[in-house]
């Protein structure tokens, strides 16, 4: 992995000079800002059962299905389309270093954007000092979940980009996989619950992929190792497949 940090620096530079990156960041922050505004308006109308930070973090997945494809769809697909991938792989750089550098560059930018959203409760607390607005336990738990789940989400984006030469196809494929993972798990669990006797095993399995439940637990300070294992193993699996895809298309 001696070329990893050189490649990572190059990938971060590529992300930071891309106009699409700043466009994605702008819309991401606008969407998250609007979500936080709606949360505060709800509290202004009447008392809520959940803390503002819990409600805000429960909506983190809304921009994920758009942000991750925008960050990752160019990563491998565009270089393969331009023929740069073949040139890179004829150098001492191996496919693991290549995929890892693209993954961590996208992941660092992904986390940087989410950390910027901490400004919303911080600014609100500055003008309206209320311990419920800046509840440290829920914020630490929620952002810990975002950092762990982000490994899988970005891994899915890198995987989608590794199997095609088209940015558009990579973006659509990544969006579909993320949408299915985030929204499909909860829907399938509801179906299985309706047929508990026939699908008891399936319901137990689907408990591992319910994103809503995971973020709710983390933001309440309930740390369960099963979701952590799920996201880490899922990230490792998607990146391993991406490495195999890059090797296969040499």
Q: What is the residue-averaged pLDDT of the chain?
A: 83
Q: Is 244 left (phi over 0), alpha (psi -120 to 50) or beta?
A: alpha
Domain around 150 = 4-248
- Position 249 scores a pLDDT of 62
Which pLDDT tens digit goes with each residue over 8-64?
A: 998 899 888 888 788 889 989 999 999 999 988 888 777 777 888 888 888 888 889
Place of tokens 């591992």: 208
**pLDDT-based confidence at residue 250 (cuts at 50, 70, 90):** low
- Name the residue among 183, 165, 187, 148 with its Cα closest to residue 73: 165
Query: How far is 154 from 174, CA to CA, in rounded Å?
Result: 9
Place of tokens 């990938």: 11
Query: How far is 175 from 180, CA to CA, in rounded Å?
Result: 8
As for how many domains the chain has, the answer is 1
Better-scored residue on pLDDT, 193 or 211? 211
- Position 60 scores a pLDDT of 85
For residue 248, how far is the Cα from the chain centroid? 26
Better-scored residue on pLDDT, 117 or 20? 117
Which pLDDT tens digit goes with each residue over 152-198?
A: 999 999 999 999 888 999 999 999 999 988 887 655 555 545 554 55
Helix (H, G, I), strand (E, B) or coil at 48: coil
Residues 6+ apart with CB under 8 A from 82: none
pTM of the model: 0.88
- Position 131 scores a pLDDT of 80
Place of tokens 């899915």: 156
Q: State mean pLDDT over 131-141.
A: 85
The answer to whether the CB of 32 falls within 8 A of the CB of 63 is yes
The CA-CA-CA angle for residues 214, 111, 156, to 5°, reads 65
**pLDDT-based confidence at residue 78 (cuts at 50, 70, 90):** confident
Q: State mean pLDDT over 195-210.
A: 58
């Amino acid at each position: 992995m001696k070329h990893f940090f050189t490649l990572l620096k190059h990938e971060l530079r590529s992300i930071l000079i891309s106009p699409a990156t700043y466009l994605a960041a702008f819309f991401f922050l606008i969407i998250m800002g609007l979500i936080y505004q709606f949360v505060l308006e709800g509290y202004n109308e009447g008392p809520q059962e959940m803390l503002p930070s819990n409600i805000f973090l429960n909506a983190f997945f809304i921009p994920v299905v758009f942000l991750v494809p925008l960050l990752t769809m160019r990563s491998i697909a565009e270089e393969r389309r331009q023929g740069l991938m073949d040139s890179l792989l004829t150098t001492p750089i191996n496919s693991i270093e290549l995929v890892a550098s693209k993954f961590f560059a996208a992941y660092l930018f992904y986390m940087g954007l989410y950390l910027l959203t901490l400004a919303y409760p911080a600014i609100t607390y500055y003008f309206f000092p209320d311990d419920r607005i800046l509840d440290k336990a829920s914020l630490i738990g929620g952002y810990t979940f975002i950092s762990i789940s982000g490994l899988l989400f970005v891994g899915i984006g890198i995987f989608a980009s590794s199997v095609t030469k088209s940015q558009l196809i990579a973006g659509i494929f990544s969006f579909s996989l993320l949408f299915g993972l985030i929204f499909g798990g909860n829907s399938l669990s509801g179906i299985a619950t309706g047929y508990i006797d026939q699908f008891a095993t399936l319901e137990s399995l689907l408990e591992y992929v319910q994103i809503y439940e995971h973020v709710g637990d983390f933001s309440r300070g309930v740390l369960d190792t099963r979701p952590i294992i799920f996201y880490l193993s899922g990230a490792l699996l998607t990146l391993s497949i991406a490495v195999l895809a890059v090797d296969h298309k040499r």
